[in-house]
Amino acid sequence: MANQIEKVSIIISRGSLEGVYPGLIMANGARMEGIEATLFFTFFGLDAIMKKRVNKLKVATIGNPAMHMPSLLGVLPGMSAMATWMMKKQMDKIDIPPVDEFLEMIKDAGAHLYACKATVDMFGLTMDDFVPQVDEIINVGKFYELSAGAQIIFT
């Protein structure tokens, strides 16, 4: 039998719905398969774990080639809100939970969630700004230490 993955470390650096969900889905899938999972949120990915933003993530409509529409249309008022509504509606149909519930599920399944210290310092944040599922604010060196032997995935 081939070597099996035992540990993953997932870096989430984008704060849009389509930037956050792949990492959450992968972490949840890892835990369901008995794979150790660590999530490291950096730069705008911190929006996914910030109390005041976790439920306000939107689909990026500007400069997103996967939208299959000219970028100019993405700047029209209401386009991001409409795309976000449509995506959430489709996710609800297949039982993908909202980000805050997904974080809770992943944490309850045994995953670890960390915020990037450099980004936290840059944005002037503290642990109080984050959802309770966040274990700690750590630097990159600590992330690498925790990721020893893991497959590192950048979403």
Given this model, what pLDDT does residue 84 score?
72
- CATH number assigned to the domain comprising residue 50: 3.40.1260.10
Q: How confident is the model at residue 71 (pLDDT cuts 50, 70, 90)?
A: low
Per-residue pLDDT of 7-47, as tens digits, reads 999 999 999 888 999 999 999 999 999 999 999 999 999 99
Whether the pTM exceeds 0.85: the reply is yes
Identify whether 1 is part of a domain: no
Identify whether 77 is part of a domain: yes
The domain in which residue 65 lies consists of: 7-154
Identify whether 44 is part of a domain: yes
Identify whether 2 is part of a domain: no
Task: Please state, rounded to an integer, the average pLDDT across all residues of the chain.
Answer: 90
Distance CA 37, CA 107 (A): 10
Per-residue pLDDT of 51-68, as tens digits, reads 999 999 988 766 556 655
Domain count, the chain: 1
Q: How confident is the model at residue 91 (pLDDT cuts 50, 70, 90)?
A: confident
Given this model, what pLDDT does residue 62 score?
61
Helix, coil or strand: residue 36:
strand
Q: Which whole number is the average pLDDT over 68-93?
A: 70
Given this model, what pLDDT does residue 80 score?
73
Among 110, 154, 119, which residue's Cα sits nearest to residue 138? Answer: 119
